[in-house]
Structure 1
Amino acid sequence: MVTKNTTIHKFKLWFTITLGVLLLFISFIASLSVGAYSIDFSQVLAALFTNDGSKAASIIQTIRLPRAVVGLIIGACLAIAGSIMQSITNNPLASPQIFGVNAGASLMVVIGVVLFPDLAPNTLVYFAFLGAAFGGAVVYYMASTGGGMTPVKLALAGITVHLFLSSLIEGIVLFNETSTEDVLFWLAGGIDGRNWGDVQLLLPWTLAGVLTAMILSKSLTILSLGDDLAKGLGQNIGLIRGASAVLVIILAGVSVAVAGPIGFIGLMIPNIVRSLIGSDYRLVIPISALFGAVLLTGADVISRYIAFPAESPVGIVTALIGAPFFLYLARKGGRSS
């Protein structure tokens, strides 16, 4: 028998998915058309399928299309990483930025650039993985001691570690100005200038991470209900948390390696999605990926108007949106609904 609540839930689910797909299409097309050289809709569609040698087609296929694809992938990665972190910690304030994952990855990438300036980007990814693991482990340890993790303790520990690691980054940049000129812009978080090589770097890690996240999604749903219930249902909590932590390191680490520490996507999107469709992570993960891609791509379009026609880091826009959202959650005591 279909109840009224079931019908309402299905309607909200399909409405949310339809809205996400529509917004994704709009933001993607806007990303291809908006810039110092404006390109109209008909030219965008034509350039997606053929290269007629025109200036518009060349700009789209070599500059804007890879940039938009990178935005879609990284937005999805960060949103999935945030949803996983919020499930395994049962804390809506958990995210790659608050947990020190982004800052740790950034620190190790900067160290790699300074010490080994000739390293290929695919090698710097492993520096990012190592830093993400270090930053996340430190915050988790600090937030878990003395009576267990609470939203307030997590926020305080995360901000403390983030500020400390950021100060180390600033010190490295200050004393190595000649080798870190490009790093300054990268540290603000941006996807401008990304190319098909970055897409190739992102894809294998992203596909592996997304597939594994979907495999774990049922266990993450149970784990989000609490450790006692998860144990009672036969879940191996240690194994799930360990595998989930590796996923977060991969998804957030590769994102930081390519685009810098873009913040707040992993905080905002999972909370918004759960408030719309509930806490079934078989749905939360893919829909978070959808809206994460929408948010980063849309924010990238907005960032082009900040200092038009010059480029501005997309991290500025996500911070302007995300900081009030973080304060809102913190004021509610970490309750997302």
Structure 2
Amino acid sequence: MGKTNKVHVVILMTAPLWIILITCLSVVLGTKSIALTTVWDAIINYDPENVDHAIIITSRIPRALGALIVGAFLAISGAVMQGMTRNYLASPSIMGVTDGSAFVITICMVWMPGMSSLQMILYSMLGSLLGAGIVFGFGSLLRNGLSPVRLAIIGTVIGTFLSSISSAISTYFQVSQNVSFWYNARLHQIDPSMLKIAIPFGIVGILIIIFLAKSITILSLGEDVSVNLGQRTKLVKAMTVIAVVMLTGTAVALVGKIGFVGLIIPHITRFLVGIDYRWIIPCAGVIGGGFLALCDVLSRFINYPFETPIGVITAFIGIPFFLYLIRSRGGEKHA
């Protein structure tokens, strides 16, 4: 236990340092490289007539913050989903949560084109709940449908179905270019005003999860153990779902659908800090944010000077990891 404590202390104590470093890299590197002195000058003495200052304040800094925030939201969501369901393949992108968000946003883009940023975030949350409800609903109706591999297959099928309907709707109503943002995440198009609105929702979601951390740890050991210890499992699950919907819905509304962050990072975090969700949650958040921000920086140079969609980078890492989990763990539930 001492070793675990040292690891999570090291992660959380050093997090500000390497988050600042990654943020600096994200701001200065790109199609146009910008000196750190110029970045500092833009922050202290912003000149809207200066092109570099405008790029830094309106694009680079919101993009870096967006990557950190969205990575943290998705990683924390994946971690608590895996703990709550005891399913080592659970994640927002595999269990239909992100697809549900993108699907509802597509519908809103067609029938509510003038909706505000707040409305978009709220409808995205509703879509997250819809997607998760459909996947787990189908899983509960099928024999062994809630087993890790079968639930992952159901989630992939439902996600593909929702994506196909969204594509058909957007093509028919000629809004496919607008909708493509939510299916091909583009961090460079993040809306700074929406970022300000999204942060409070994320804070509330994370506070709920932190409050439930001990209960999620017990629940991850098995529902029988949880019930025997007097835990109100239905209430814990309901509140956890609400928090996951808030975090995932906000993330999708901000930057679109990004896969595999919520699958990879929780496993890495548990390997490093153990099974106590009081430490998994904050550590997954900082590792997930740093991971996505680094992927974003990498996406700018793979096909320089053109940008590679960040979803390609996360899938390149995530798909082999996903296949490894299936091969090594089979249909077992994680402890």
Q: Distance in 2 between matches of 1:33 and 1:256?
A: 25
Greater mean alpha carbon deviation, residues 88-97 or residues 64-73: 64-73
Greater mean alpha carbon deviation, residues 323-332 or residues 137-146: 137-146
Give the paired residue count: 331
Evaluate the alpha carbon distance shift between residue 325 and residue 21 of structure 1 in structure 2; reply closer, same or farther with a 3 A threshold. farther
Partner of 1:68: 64
**How much has 1:315 moved relative to structure 2?**
1.6
Partner of 2:88: 92
Greater mean alpha carbon deviation, residues 19-28 or residues 251-260: 19-28
Instruction: Give RMSD over aligned pairs.
Output: 2.0
Offset from partner CA, 1:73-94 (integer Å, 9 cap, x none)? 1111111111110111011100
Partner of 1:44: 39
Evaluate the alpha carbon distance shift between residue 86 and residue 76 of structure 1 in structure 2; reply closer, same or farther with a 3 A threshold. same
Gaps of 5+ in 1: 1-5
8 Å CA contact 2:217–2:276 kept in 1: the answer is yes
Q: Distance in 2 between matches of 1:125 and 1:22?
A: 31
Evaluate the alpha carbon distance shift between residue 200 and residue 58 of structure 1 in structure 2; reply closer, same or farther with a 3 A threshold. same
8 Å CA contact 1:187–1:260 kept in 2: the answer is yes
The alignment status of 1:259 with 2:267, answered yes or no, reads: no
The alignment status of 1:150 with 2:147, answered yes or no, reads: yes
What are the equivalent positions in structure 2 for 1:228-243 lying under 5 Å apart?
A: 228-243=224-239
* Equivalent residue letter for 1:149: L
The alignment status of 1:171 with 2:168, answered yes or no, reads: yes
The alignment status of 1:268 with 2:264, answered yes or no, reads: yes
Evaluate the alpha carbon distance shift between residue 333 and residue 142 of structure 1 in structure 2; reply closer, same or farther with a 3 A threshold. farther
What are the equivalent positions in structure 2 for 1:104-253 lying under 5 Å apart?
A: 104-144=100-140, 145-147=142-144, 149-177=146-174, 179-253=175-249
Offset from partner CA, 1:105-124 (integer Å, 9 cap, x none)? 11110011011212222212
Offset from partner CA, 1:116-149 (integer Å, 9 cap, x none)? 2122222122221222111101111222342462
Greater mean alpha carbon deviation, residues 114-123 or residues 17-26: 17-26
Q: Percent identity?
A: 36
8 Å CA contact 1:70–1:198 kept in 2: the answer is no
Offset from partner CA, 1:26-75 (integer Å, 9 cap, x none)? 32111100112101233334434443675433321222111111111111
Evaluate the alpha carbon distance shift between residue 257 and residue 172 of structure 1 in structure 2; reply closer, same or farther with a 3 A threshold. same
Gaps of 5+ in 2: none
8 Å CA contact 2:8–2:283 kept in 1: the answer is no
Query: Which 4+ runs in 1 deviate beyond 6 A?
Result: none
**How much has 1:19 moved relative to structure 2?**
5.5
8 Å CA contact 1:192–1:311 kept in 2: the answer is no
